[in-house]
């Protein structure tokens, strides 16, 4: 079973009470180096942008290559996907529609999707995941940017805002994980209440299979679909999400989570939120495993936050109520740009 930290931070898998067991071959080609000079305390060469094409490339940080895709023009918006152990794929193309008001940049976190690098506790340390946001900023040539975090990505976004509020124009938290444990028991109970015995039996059956043990994409993807389905207001909306995990993501997701957990403690950041003086938009679905009370408490804790309560959404509001979500984000980005122009 995962540690208490892993259970809380793997928000959706946590809520479903699923522990994805270790699999065999965990590394993508080129992603198994050891002895990385990529630890938080080490000096690392300035990140550079290694462009593959106009809309895709790699941000190279030491021995790690972070795969990104970029869309549109305008003020920079960095999208931080959930997990840990997922990649940007499930969030696209939902937020591409913002490219009329922003330069939308997605990236795959360390060890997933198209990103490669060493599989060590140093390289896959939480601090590295947070610092990657700043390394992407530097490589892209941004002085300031807006960060959007979904689920676990919201925790990374909040962690970055705690460290570098002066580098942010805005903070968007969508179905974010809790920055503490105040509502953990309530979230776990809400998840259990919507999980069927049939779904749990199917999950256990898949996890007992050789294909799952070998980290094959199909069985791992099926588990994610089963788990995420119960977090939606309308379970049939699961068909709207692209959850066909890449081979690298399917193989690596367990090791990424395990190494992240090493040496970590459960964050308790509630007292810190009041010092994050960054315009904040919180988008939260009424059917999300995290209770609305948690989102209200976050909104009340930030000094400059607005909460949008999404009545017909669960954990994936960008797919469940896309028009509402897009309009709210677009308005927030435009307001931020107007404020910057007038300051």
Question: Which pLDDT tens digit goes with each residue over 245-303?
Answer: 999 999 998 899 889 888 677 889 999 999 999 999 999 999 999 999 999 999 999 99
- Torsion angle, CA of 328/333/336/337, rounded to 10 degrees? -140
- What is the domain count for the chain? 1
Q: Residue 2: its pLDDT value, please?
A: 33
* Helix/strand/coil for 331: helix
Confidence check: pLDDT of 52 > 70: no
C-alpha 191/C-alpha 290 separation (Å) is 9
Q: Sign of the C-alpha dihedral, residues 72, 152, 285, 200? A: positive
Confidence check: pLDDT of 9 > 50: no
Q: In the structure, what pLDDT confidence band is assigned to residue 306 with cuts at 50, 70 and 90?
A: very high
Q: In the structure, what pLDDT confidence band is assigned to residue 216 with cuts at 50, 70 and 90?
A: very high
C-alpha 203/C-alpha 133 separation (Å) is 34
- Torsion angle, CA of 304/173/291/194, rounded to 10 degrees? 170
Provide the token pair at 232: 């939606």
Report if residue 154 sits inside a domain. Answer: yes
Average pLDDT, the chain: 84
Report if residue 152 sits inside a domain. Answer: yes
Q: What is the CATH number of the domain that holds 159?
A: 3.40.50.1820
Report if residue 155 sits inside a domain. Answer: yes
**Residues with Cβ within 8 Å of residue 135, at least 6 apart in sequence:** 47, 59, 61, 66
Report if residue 199 sits inside a domain. Answer: no
Report if residue 270 sits inside a domain. Answer: yes
The residue segments making up the domain with residue 267 are: 4-14+46-88+103-187+253-342
Report if residue 162 sits inside a domain. Answer: yes
Report if residue 209 sits inside a domain. Answer: no
Say what the pTM is.
0.85
Q: Residue 267: its pLDDT value, please?
A: 86
Q: Which of 226, 243, 267, 246 is CA-nearest to residue 126? A: 267
DSSP 194-262: H--HHHHHHHHHHHTSHHHHTT-HHHHHHHHHHHHHTTSSSGGGGGGS-----HHHHHHHHHHHHHHHT
Confidence check: pLDDT of 185 > 80: yes
Confidence check: pLDDT of 13 > 60: no
Whether the bond into 272 is cis, omega within 30 of 0:
no
Report if residue 201 sits inside a domain. Answer: no
Q: In the structure, what pLDDT confidence band is assigned to residue 47 with cuts at 50, 70 and 90?
A: low
Q: Which of 129, 78, 146 is CA-nearest to residue 267? A: 129
Q: Residue 15: its pLDDT value, please?
A: 34
């Amino acid at each position: 079973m995962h540690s208490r930290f892993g259970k809380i931070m793997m928000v959706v898998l946590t809520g479903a009470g699923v522990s994805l067991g270790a699999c065999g071959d965990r590394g993508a080609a080129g992603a198994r180096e050891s002895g990385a000079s990529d630890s938080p305390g080490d000096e690392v060469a300035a990140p550079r942008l290694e462009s593959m094409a106009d809309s895709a490339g790699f941000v190279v940080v030491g021995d790690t290559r972070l795969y990104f895709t970029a869309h549109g023009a305008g003020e920079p918006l960095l999208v931080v996907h959930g997990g840990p152990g997922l990649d940007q794929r499930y969030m696209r193309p939902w937020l591409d529609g913002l490219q009329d008001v922003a330069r939308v940049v997605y990236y795959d976190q360390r060890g997933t999707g198209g990103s490669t690098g060493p599989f060590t506790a140093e390289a896959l340390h939480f601090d590295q995941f947070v610092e990657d946001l700043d390394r992407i900023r530097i490589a892209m040539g941004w002085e300031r940017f807006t960060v959007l975090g979904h689920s676990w990505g919201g925790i990374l976004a909040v962690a970055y805002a705690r460290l570098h509020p002066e580098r942010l124009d805005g903070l968007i938290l969508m179905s974010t994980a809790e920055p503490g444990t105040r509502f953990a028991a309530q979230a776990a109970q809400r998840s259990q209440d919507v999980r069927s015995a049939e779904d749990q039996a199917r999950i256990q059956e898949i996890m007992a299979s050789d294909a799952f043990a070998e980290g094959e994409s199909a069985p791992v993807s099926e588990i994610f679909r089963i788990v995420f389905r119960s977090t939606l207001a309308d379970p049939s909306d699961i068909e709207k999400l692209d959850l066909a995990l890449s081979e690298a993501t399917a193989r690596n997701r367990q090791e990424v989570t395990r190494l992240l957990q090493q040496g970590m403690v459960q964050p308790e950041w509630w007292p810190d939120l009041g010092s994050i003086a960054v315009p904040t938009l919180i988008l939260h679905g009424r059917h999300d495993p995290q209770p609305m009370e948690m989102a209200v408490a976050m909104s009340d804790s930030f000094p400059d936050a607005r909460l949008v309560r999404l009545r017909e959404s669960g954990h994936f509001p960008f797919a469940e109520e896309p028009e509402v979500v897009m309009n709210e984000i677009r308005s927030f980005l435009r307001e931020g740009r107007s404020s910057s122009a007038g300051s």
